C-alpha cells in the first residue's frame, strides 16, 4: 500500500500537493520493462514482427512507447527492426520458451 508523503516541518499557509506526472515523462523505465515483457510473451506465442507491432499499437502503452523511441530519433522502420531483433533474441536465448 502506498501512503501520501508527510512533511513535518510544515509552513503554515503553504499547501503541499503532489504533482501529477505527465504521460510519457518520468516513466521510461516502466515503459521499457513493460515493452520487454510484452515482447517476451509475443515471442513465446510465436508472433511475427507485424503482429507484435500491431498488438503494441493497440496496447494502452503505445503512446508512451512511441514517444520514448521518437525522443531517441527512432523512426517507424527502425522500430520494426528493433521489435524483430528482440523477438529473435528471445527465441534464441530461450526467454520465449
Read off the pLDDT of residues 39-87 as tens digits, 9 standing for 90 and up. 999 999 999 999 999 999 999 999 999 999 999 999 999 999 999 999 9
DSSP 59: S
Which of 28, 25, 77 has the alpha carbon at shortest distance from 53? 77
Sole residue written with cell 509475443: 42
Q: Which residue has the higher pLDDT, 75 or 17?
A: 75
Task: Tell me the three-class secondary structure of 4-25, residue by residue.
Answer: CCCCCCCCCCCCCCCCCCCCCC
At residue 25, the pLDDT reads 65
DSSP 45: T
Q: Please give the helix or strand (H or E) that residue 31 lies within, else none.
A: helix 28-44
At residue 58, the pLDDT reads 97
C-alpha radius of gyration, the chain, whole number: 19
Amino acid at each position: 500500500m502506498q501512503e501520501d508523503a508527510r512533511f513535518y516541518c510544515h509552513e503554515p499557509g503553504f499547501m503541499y500537493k503532489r504533482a501529477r506526472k505527465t504521460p510519457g515523462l518520468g516513466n521510461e523505465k516502466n515503459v521499457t520493462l513493460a515493452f520487454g515483457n510484452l515482447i517476451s510473451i509475443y515471442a513465446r506465442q510465436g508472433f511475427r514482427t507485424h503482429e507484435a507491432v500491431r498488438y503494441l499499437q493497440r496496447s494502452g502503452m503505445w503512446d508512451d512507447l512511441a514517444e520514448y523511441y521518437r525522443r531517441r530519433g527512432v523512426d517507424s522502420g527502425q522500430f520494426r527492426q528493433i521489435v524483430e531483433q528482440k523477438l529473435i533474441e528471445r527465441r534464441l536465448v530461450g526467454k520465449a520458451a
